[in-house]
């Protein structure tokens, strides 16, 4: 269990440092900035690389909504859910600390300017409403769980699962960065909101509630279309 939790800590650390780091450090640089497309790829690559690095150790959840969805989908033990979520949140915070230390090395930097935080209304990149942000986060997280459960199904090509999941997260970011700056992950949202403070913290509730609801919805969708009896023992 210690190895699993450490793997989740390291993996979520990498997701926040790599994904949010690309947004904070590289997205807006003149002429060579990677933009939203680059940030989308960065998030997908963090999951892709960690899936190969730690997938065989912890399952590479890196996300409380994923852990919840996998539990409800019969792929993950209920007794490990709390410890996994704690490790993910702490790993994300550690990634945000390192990112803050790096970003602070540039004159004029201020985390209160956003720090890749998620939001709706004035905090949405394109000014989308609370309802739009809620629907987006629920649906995107639900589809992420369908992708994860399908790609890791015993009937699917096992070696390609990380590719499908990483590209799935990339696509999700391509769709939803303009709406909420893309969360689909409460640990990722919490990590940067702590540093952004203010309205980002006030709106953080949405980026726990919506992804968790989406994770549960995705689990039930896949359970209906692809669940097999031999997977039920994993949740006991």
Which tens digit of pLDDT belongs to each residue from 116-172? 999 999 999 999 999 999 999 999 999 999 999 999 998 988 889 999 999 999 999
pLDDT score, position 228? 61
Query: Any idea which residue has 């919490």 for tokens?
Result: 190
| Cβ atoms 118, 181 nearer than 8 A | yes
Residue 9 has, within 13 A of its CA and on its CB side, a CA count of 11
pLDDT score, position 82? 96
pLDDT score, position 229? 56
Q: Under CATH, what is the fold of the domain 2-226? A: Glycerol uptake facilitator protein (1.20.1080)
Q: Which of 232, 125, 209, 110 is nearest to 175 (CA)?
A: 125
What percentage of the chain carries pLDDT values higher than 90?
84
Q: Which of 204, 137, 222 is nearest to 173 (CA)?
A: 137
Q: Which of 177, 204, 179 is nearest to 189 (CA)?
A: 204
Instruction: Please say if the pLDDT value at position 89 is more than 70.
Output: yes
Q: In the chain, which ranges are continuous DSSP H helix?
A: 2-15, 21, 35-58, 64-72, 81-103, 130-151, 161-180, 186-196, 198-202, 206-226
């Amino acid at each position: 269990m210690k190895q699993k939790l450490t793997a989740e800590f390291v993996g979520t650390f990498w997701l926040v440092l790599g994904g949010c780091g690309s947004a904070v450090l590289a997205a807006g640089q003149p002429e060579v900035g990677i933009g939203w497309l680059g940030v989308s790829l960065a998030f997908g690559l963090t999951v892709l690389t960690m899936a190969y690095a730690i997938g065989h150790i912890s399952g590479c959840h890196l996300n409380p909504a994923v852990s919840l969805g996998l539990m409800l989908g019969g792929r993950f033990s209920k007794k490990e859910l709390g410890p996994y979520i704690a490790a993910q949140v702490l790993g994300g915070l550690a990634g945000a600390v390192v990112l803050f230390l790096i970003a602070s090395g540039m004159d004029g930097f201020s985390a209160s300017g956003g720090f890749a935080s998620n939001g709706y209304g004035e905090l949405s990149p394109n000014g989308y409403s609370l309802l739009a942000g809620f629907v987006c986060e629920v649906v995107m997280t639900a589809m992420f769980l369908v992708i994860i459960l399908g790609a890791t199904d015993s009937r699917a090509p096992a070696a390609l699962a990380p590719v499908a999941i990483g590209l799935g997260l990339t696509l999700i970011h391509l769709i939803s960065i303009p709406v909420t700056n893309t969360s689909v992950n409460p640990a990722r949202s919490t990590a940067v909101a702590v540093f952004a403070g203010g309205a980002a913290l006030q709106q953080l509730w949405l980026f726990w509630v919506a992804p968790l609801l989406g994770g549960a919805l995705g689990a039930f969708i896949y359970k209906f279309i692809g669940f097999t009896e031999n997977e039920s023992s994993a949740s006991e």
